[in-house]
Amino acid sequence: MVSNRYCPFVLAAVVFMTFSHAVAYDPLDPTGNITIKWDVISWTPDGYLAMVTMTNFQMYRHIMSPGWTLGWTWARKEVIWSMVGAQATEQGDCSKFKINIPHCCKRNPTVVDLLPGVPYNQQIANCCKGGVVASWGQDPSAAVSSFQLSVGISGTSNKTVRLPKNFTLSGPGRGYTCSQAKTVPPSVFISADGRRRTQAMMTWNVTCSYSQILASQHPTCCVSMSSFYNSTITPCPACACGCQNKNNCVASDSQIRSVVGINTPSNAPLLHCTQHMCPIRMHWHVKLNYKEYWRVKITVTNFNYQINYTQWTLVVQHPNLNNVTEVFSFSYKPLIPYKSTNDTGMFYGIKFYNDVLMQSGPEGNVQSELILEKDINTFSFKQGWAFPRKVYFNGDECTMPLPEYYPYLPNSAHGTFSTLPPFLLLILLAFW
C-alpha cells in the first residue's frame, strides 16, 4: 500500500500524466497527426542519401505561412553535406573541413522549406511551398511536404546508422510534440510505369501531435450568436481570448497606418480593439424558419491587422449537420470521426475566391449561408438547440458564450414576444 503521506504526490503524478497525454487528443479528429517519414534511399562513402516526407493527417488543421520548421539532434557527429527542397537555417562550425564544406555542421540543425520559384535543380516533388501544408480533409494532394538530404559521418549500413533524436516541429508556432524516431518496415516505391518495385534501405517514422494548450495560453477565436426570433445579440464573452493585447490594440481602421511598424514585431498580433480581444470571431445567425427547412448565416471576421489567414478552415459541431441541404459561398465536407455520429462539418473557402481571410478592415470577413432540413423528431429552437456545440477555427477551439446568454425563444405573447417586429411574429406563428 502507498503511505498516506505520499498520496498527494502520487495523485499529482497521475493527474499530470493523464493531462499531458489528454491535451494532445482532439475528439473531433482522434487520429490526426503529422507523420515524418525518413527513408534512407542509398548509401554514400561516409553516410547515406535520405528522403524526408512530412504528411499532415490532420483533417482540419493546416500549416500556414510562414510555414513549418523542423529540428532534431544528431546521435553522433553527423553533418549535412547537401540538401534539395529545403535548407538548414544555420551552417554552424565547419572549420575542420578544408576542401568540401558541408551544408550544415550543427549538432542540432533546424530546417525550413524553400520558397516557391527556386531553380529547378534545387527542387523535388512536394517541396518549395514556403512551408505551407494543407490539411488532409481540405486537400490531401497538398498535405505533403518533402526534401532530400545527404548525411555524412553517420555509418554506412543498417547496423551502424543511428537515428536522430529530439525531433521538434513548429507549424509555424508552438503546439506540436514529437515522438522519438522509430524504425519501421522499409518504404516501397513503384516506378512511374508501375512495372518495378524498389524499397528503401532503412526507414524510420516520427509522429507529431498538436496541443492547443501548448500552442497558446489563451484561445484565439470566439463565437457570437443571434436569431430572427429574438432582438438580443449574444456577443463573445468579455476577454474571451485573454485581453493580453488590450493595451496594444487599434481603435479604428483609420488609425492603422499610424500604428503599424511602431514597436510592433511582425509576428505579434495587432488587433482591432474589441470587448473580446480575439483575432477571429465566428457569428452564427439563425436567419429564417421554413416549414421543412431552416436557414443559418455564418460570418467569420478577422480582427488581426497583421495576418491574412490563407486556406482557413472552420469546423462546427451541431446535431442537424447530418441534414445539410445546401451551402452557399463556402466549400463543405462532413467529418465523421465516429461511425455512430454525423454531427460535425468542415467549412473552407473556395479556391481563388474566398480561401484567404483578409486582415482586419472592410474586406476582413467571409460569409456563407446554409440550409438544413428539419428532422421532426429532434428539431427545436428551444434551449439553444439551434446553436453550435463546438466551433474550431484553423484547428483551435473557439470560446463559446455561456448557455444562459443564448438568444432565447419567446414562450408567450407577453414580454419579449410582443416586442418583436410584426413580420417576425407572422413567421413564428406560421411555422413554429
- For β-strands 79-84 and 144-152, DSSP reports them as antiparallel
Q: Are 70 and 36 in contact (CB under 8 A)?
A: yes
- Nine-digit cell at 212? 492547443
In whole angstroms, what is the distance from residue 356 CA to residue 353 CA? 8
In whole angstroms, what is the distance from residue 281 CA to residue 223 CA? 6
* Predicted local confidence at residue 11, as pLDDT: 45
- Expressed in percent and rounded to 5, the helix, strand and coil fractions of the chain are 15, 35, 50
Q: Are 124 and 84 in contact (CB under 8 A)?
A: yes
Tell me the backbone φ, ψ of residue 296, rounded to 5 degrees. -125, 140
What are the pLDDT tens digits along the chain (432 aa)? 445 544 444 444 444 444 444 446 788 898 899 999 999 999 999 999 999 999 999 999 999 999 999 999 999 999 999 999 999 999 999 999 988 999 999 999 999 999 999 999 999 999 999 999 999 999 999 999 999 999 999 989 999 999 999 999 998 889 999 999 999 999 999 988 999 999 999 999 999 999 999 988 899 999 999 999 988 899 999 999 998 888 888 887 666 655 554 445 455 678 999 999 999 999 999 999 999 999 999 999 999 998 999 999 999 999 999 999 999 999 999 998 777 778 999 999 999 899 999 999 889 999 999 999 998 888 988 888 999 999 999 999 999 999 889 988 876 433 334 345 545 544 443 444
**What are 285's strand-pairing partners?**
226, 297
The CA distances from residue 217 to 213, 214, 306, 308, in Å, are 6, 7, 20, 22
C-alpha torsion angle, residues 251, 256, 261, 263 (rounded to 10): -10
Euclidean distance between the first and final Cα of the chain, in Å? Answer: 62
The CA distances from residue 233 to 229, 276, 283, 366, 403, in Å, are 11, 14, 10, 19, 13
- Nine-digit cell at 410? 419567446
C-alpha torsion angle, residues 199, 204, 210, 215 (rounded to 10): -120
In whole angstroms, what is the distance from residue 39 CA to residue 52 CA? 6
What stretches of 253-301 show up as alpha helix (H) in DSSP? 256-259
* Predicted local confidence at residue 24, as pLDDT: 61
* Predicted local confidence at residue 27, as pLDDT: 84
Q: What is the pTM of this model?
A: 0.84
**What are 396's strand-pairing partners?**
393
- Nine-digit cell at 156? 554506412
Q: Cell 553517420 sits at which residue?
A: 154
In this predicted model, what pLDDT tens digit does every residue of 20-41 receive, in sequence order?
444 467 888 988 999 999 999 9
* DSSP track, 41-72: EEEETTEEEEEEEEEE--SS--B-TT--EEEE
CA-closest candidate to residue 81, choices 62, 69, 99, 63: 99
| Total count of residues recorded for the chain | 432
* Predicted local confidence at residue 409, as pLDDT: 81
